[in-house]
Structure 1
Amino acid sequence: MSTPDLEEWRRLDPRIMLMDPVRSGGRLVLPLVIAAIGIGRGDGLPGVLLGIVVLVVAAVAGVVPWATTRWRIGDGRLVWRRRFIGQRLVTVSLDRVRSVDLEATLFHRVLGLAKVDIGTGVDDERITLDSLAAADALALRTWLLERSRTGAPAAPQVQAVPAPAPQRELLAELDWSWVRFAPFSLGRLAVVAAALGVLAQLGDDIGVDLEGVVQGTYDEVVRLGILLVVVLLVVGGTVGWVLIACAGYVLQWGELVVAREGGAVHVSAGLLTTRSTTVEEARVRGVELVEPVLMRLVRGAELNALSTGVGKGGTTKVLPPCPLEVAEQVGDRLLGVGGAFATTLLRHGPAARRRRHVRGLVPTVLAAVVVAVLAGSGVLTGWWPWLVVLALPALGAWLAEASYRHLGHRLTPGHLVVGGGLLDRRRTVLERDGIIGWVLTQTVFQRRVGLATLVATTAAGRESVRVLDLPLADATALALDATPEMVLPFVA
C-alpha cells in the first residue's frame, strides 16, 4: 500500500460481489420459506416470479456496495463515501482513531477478505470497510494504530528495509478444558428463547395446530405419569442446554489468543467468524473480574478490560468463562501489578450490612404477605402458597447477605479496588491516574444511618466506579487518599 494508492479514491475488494449475494440469500431464507408456504396455499406470487425476484435482489446486493463505496486517506483524514441515490460522507481525523477491529466471517475467510471497523470512541464517528483483502486490512490496522500513537506521516510509506517485528508476549490462549464452564454461563438463554419464539411463530404461519399439540402433549403426560415426564424434561433440557452452550462457546471463542505486542493488547477469537480487537495499553485504565453466580460453583470467571474510547461502552471482553486463577493472572499482567485480585477488601461496617438486609427483606416480606392473604382467602389453594410465604423472606435474607459479602474496597499504591454485585460477584480494579473526578451522594435513608455512595468518574469503561454504602467519613477519606491533589482544595 503506497502513498499514491491511498491518497486516491479506492474501492472495496471486488471479491465482495461474490460474498454479498450469499449473505443476502441467508437473510432471505426465513421470509422465503414463509412466502413459499403462502404460495402453496395459493396466497402468494407465482413461484417463477418469486425465484426471479430473489436472483435479482441477490445480484444487486453483490454489485451495489462495491460500485457505490469509496474510501481514501489524505490530509490527515480517513474519508468514506457512499453514493447511491443520495450521498453519505464520513470523515475521521487520523489523530482521533482509537480502535481498529478486524472481523472475518466464514465467507470472508474463504475469499481471503476481512472487515475493518474503525472507531474514534464516539458512537457516530465510525467507518466500516467491508471488505478488504485480509493482508491489506491487517496492514491498515497496524499503520492506523501506530500513527494514532506516534504521529506517523499522513499515509503509509513503503520501506526498503523491513522494520523489525515488535516483541510479542502471549498472555493467554484457549485451553479446550475451559469449555466445561460454558453451561454455567446463562448469557445464551436469551438466544435460545428467541429461537423458540421464532419457531413458534413459524409454526403458526405454516398452520400447525398448536392447541392440538398442547392437548396431545397433556394426554401423553397423563398417560406416562407427571413425575416421569418431569424427570425426562429435566434430563433432556439439561443435556440440550449443555450441548447448545458448549457449541456456542466453541464457535465464539475457538482459537482464542490474547497477546501484548507493539504497545497494544490484541484479542482474537472465533472458529468460523474470527474477530480481532486491539486495545492500546496506554488506554487500558483498569480491569473487571466477573464471577457469575453459577460459575462460582466451579471457580470460573470472566475478564473485561476497561479502556478509554474503545470496545462496547469502553469495555472489551478479554477472557470468556475460564478458571478463576487464569482470569486473575491475566488481569494482573494487564495492569502490570501483582495481587490486585488477591487483596482483602475492607468491609463497610454493620450499618451497611443492616441497609442491605432492609433493602432485601422489605420487598420479599411484602410479597410473602400478599401471597399469604391470597392463600388465606382461598384464591390460592394447596400447600405451595405457604411454601412460597416461607421461602420469600429466606431468599431475601440470603441475597442481602450475599450482597454484603461482595461489598468492599481497598486502595493500593496504584489502584482503587472495588467489590460489589448481587448474584454476580464483581471486582473492579481502576488505576488511580484514571480517576478524573468524584461524586458523593446520599439518599434520605443513607443520611439517617451515616452512609454514602462514592462514585469515581473516569473516561474508561462505563465511566464510573461506584463504592456503595460507605460510611461518610470513610468516603471522604478514600477520595482524599486516592487523589489528594484533586480533593484537598475542597476539604475544610
Structure 2
Amino acid sequence: MIPAPDDGWMRLSPRKLLLDPVKAVGQAIVPVVVALVGISQSDMRFWPIIVPVAILGPVVLGALPWLTTHYRLTESQIQVRSGILNKNTSTAPLDRVRSVDLEASLLHRVLGVQKVQVGTGVDDDRITLDALAASDAQALRTTLLGRRAAAAPPSAVRAGAGDGDGDEAARQATDHAEGYAAPAPGVPAQPFPPAPAALLAAIDWSWLRFAPFSLGRLVLLAGAVGVFSQFADDLPIWNEETATSAWAWITQFAIVAVVVVLAVGGLGLWLVVSVVGYVLQWWGFRLVREHGNLHLTSGLVTTRSITVEEAKVRGVEMTEPVLMRLVGGAELSTLATGVEDGVTQVLPPCPREVAVGVGGAVLEQPGPLTRTLVRHGPKAHRRAWFRQLRNALDLVVVLAVAWWWFDLTWWWLAAIAVGLLALAAAVGEASYRHLGHALGEQHLVAGSGTLARVRTVLETDGIIGWVVTQSWWQRRIGLADLTATTAAGAEKVVVCDVRLDVAVALADAATPGLLTDFVPEPATA
C-alpha cells in the first residue's frame, strides 16, 4: 500500500529479494564460469571454497538493496533512503515532480513488480524505486501526479494578473483545462473533477508494414555478428582445407543462383528481425492525454509507461527515413525540457498522416507539420550539391591511392567514381529539397536532413537565444546557419544555409526585440 503522509518509512516489495539475486546471478554468470573453468584446469583444491562463494555472493549482494532501501511520502516530498556504509537520501518536492515512468522487464512481470522512476525536471535527478508491487506502483504514479497538480498554483497566480477581459477569459480557459475553477474575488480556487483521459493514438497492426523500412533493428544484427565473431575463430570450420572444399562446393552451382539465395535469405532474416522487434517494442501501444501529461504505454516482454508533462513540451519533430518515406511512413517525437535526452519518441513507425495528426494534437494547433517551407535559394542549392560532391571526391582520392598501391585495374575505379559522384548528386539534391523554414504565430518550423527528411517545430516561447554562424565559404556567398537555442530536445534547432539578412529578420520576427539592434534599417530614398 502507498503510505499516507507521515506514516514513516516503508520498504520496497519483498519480491525484490527474488528479483535482485536473479539479476546479480545473471550478470555474474559469465565471469564466474570463465573463472571456474580456468581454476579447474590448474588446481581443484580451492573448489570447496570458490563454489559456495560464487553462488552465495551474488545472492547476498542482490538482497542488500531490499534491506537498505526505504521510502516515504510526506505532505510535500517523496523521500528515498538507501546505502549501507555510504548513506544516501534523495528527496523531491511534490510540486517539482514532472514525470513518473513505469517499466517492467519479463522478470519484473513474472514477479508482479514494476520499476518506478520519478523525474523532477533535471536530466540526472531521477528517483528510482526498483521494485514496487504493480498495484503500488500504479497508485504511487497516480498519487504523485495528482498531488503535483494539486500543489500547483492557479494559472492566474503563475502567469501574473492581467487587466483585460481577453486576459481574464484566457486565464479561465487555462484554469479549466488544468483542473481549477475560476474563483470569485477573495474565494480560493477550487479544482474541477479531473477530465477523462483523451486517447491520441493506439497501435494499429496494419502499421507492421513499416517495420522492414526502419533500419534501427540493424543494430541487433550487427551485435549478433559481433558476438558470433568472438567465437568464430575457435570453430573447426575455419581452416584452409574446409574453406577450399566449401568454395569448390559453392562453385558447382551458378554464382548468380548463390547470390540470389543469399539475398533472399538475408531479406527473410531481416523481415523476421524487424517485425518481431516492432511487435516486442510497440505491443499494446497507447498515447493518451491525462492530468496535463502525455502518457505512453507499450511493450510485450518489457513494458514501458512514460509520462511527459505537456507544460514542458516545446515542440515536436517528425522524421521520415529514406526507405520509410517511399511507403508513406514517419516517426514522431516530442521536444521537452526536464526529460532524459530531451527527445521522446511518442509514435512507432506509422503512416505520415497519423504522425501529422498526432503532432498537431500535441501542439494543440494543426498545420505546423504541413506548412509550406520557404526555400533558401540557388546558393544554398549549389552548396548542398558541393558538400556531397566534395565528400565523394575525398573518398575517390582514398580509393585511388589504394588502387595505385595494390596495382589494380583502373576501369573498376573509374566505374566506382562515376557511381559515387552520381549518388552524391542525388543526395545533394535530396538534402536541398528537405531544407527550408517557416514562421507561424507561435512556432518556428525548420526543415533539414540528408537522406531522412526531418521537420522540427519549436514554440517561439521556448526560444531563449540565437546564434548566427558563418563558415569561410558561407561568408563568401552571403549564407549563414541560424541556431535557435532552447532548453528542450537537443537544446538547439538549426536553420541551415539561409541568407544572412533573412536569418536576422527571421530571428527578430520570432522573438521581437531580441535582435532589433542587428536588423538593418531599410534604405531611404
Listed as ranges, the matches of 1:53-452 within 5 Å are: 53-74=53-74, 76-151=76-151, 164=193, 166-204=195-233, 208=236, 210-211=238-239, 214=243, 217-310=246-339, 312-372=340-400, 375=403, 379-381=407-409, 383-452=411-480
The residue aligned with 2:189 is none
What is the one-letter code of the residue matched to 1:282? A
Residue 247 of structure 1 and its aligned partner are, at CA, apart by 0.7
Alignment match, 1:485:
513
Q: Please, what is the CA RMSD of the aligned residues? A: 2.7
Tell me how far 1:51 sits from its aligned partner. 5.5
Identify the residue that residue 164 of structure 2 maps to in structure 1.
none
Q: Secondary structure at the match of 1:462?
A: coil
Letter in 2 for 1:105: S
Residues 44, 131 of structure 1: alpha-carbon distance in 2 compared, 3 angstrom cutoff: farther
Q: Look up the SS of the partner of 1:210 in the other structure.
A: coil
Shift in CA distance, 17/300, structure 1 to aligned 2, threshold 3 Å:
same
Q: Distance in 2 between matches of 1:203 and 1:42?
A: 26
**CA distance in structure 2 between the partners assigned to 1:166 and 1:386 by the alignment:** 67
Question: Which residue identity is paired with 2:407?
Answer: V
Q: Which amino acid aligns with 1:482?
A: A
Query: What secondary structure sits across from 1:199 in the alignment?
Result: helix
Gaps of 5+ in 1: 154-162
CA apart distance, 1:326: 0.9
Q: Which runs of 5+ in 2 are unaligned?
A: 154-191, 521-525
Deviation at 1:151, TM superposition (A): 1.3
Q: Across the two proteins, how many residue pairs are aligned to each other?
A: 481
| Secondary structure of 1:115's aligned partner | strand
State, as a whole percentage, how many aligned pairs show the same letter.
50
Read off the aligned partner of 2:504 and give its amino acid letter.
T
2:90 aligned counterpart, secondary structure: strand
CA-CA distance at 1:66 after TM superposition: 0.6
**Aligned-pair distance for 1:490?**
4.9
Match in the other structure for 2:16 = 16
CA change 1:217–1:7 in 2 (3 A) is farther
Q: Residues 210 and 52 from structure 1, CA distance in 2 versus in 1: closer, same or farther, beyond 3 angstroms?
A: farther
Distance 1:139 1:425 in 2: 41
1:105-159 CA deviation, whole Å, 9 max, x = no partner?
1222222211001122333322110001112212222232333344179xxxxxx
1:277 is paired with a residue of what secondary structure?
strand
* 2:495 corresponds to 1:467: yes
3-state SS of paired residue (1:422): coil
**Which amino acid is 1:288 matched to?**
E
- Residue by residue, what CA displacement relative to the aligned partner does 1:199-248 show, whole Å, maximum 9, x if unpaired? 322455x6655346655543433343433322221111110111011111
Compared with structure 1, are the counterparts of its residues 45 and 482 closer, same or farther at alpha carbon in structure 2 (3 Å cutoff)? farther
2:97 counterpart letter in structure 1: V
| Structure 1 pair 142–50 and aligned structure 2 pair: CA distance change class (3 A) | same
- Structure 1's 131 and 369: CA in aligned 2 closer, same or farther, altered over 3 A? closer
Opposite residue 201 of structure 1, the aligned amino acid is: Q
TM-score by structure 1 length?
A: 0.89
Distance 2:45 2:338 in 1: 49
- TM-score with structure 2 setting the length: 0.84
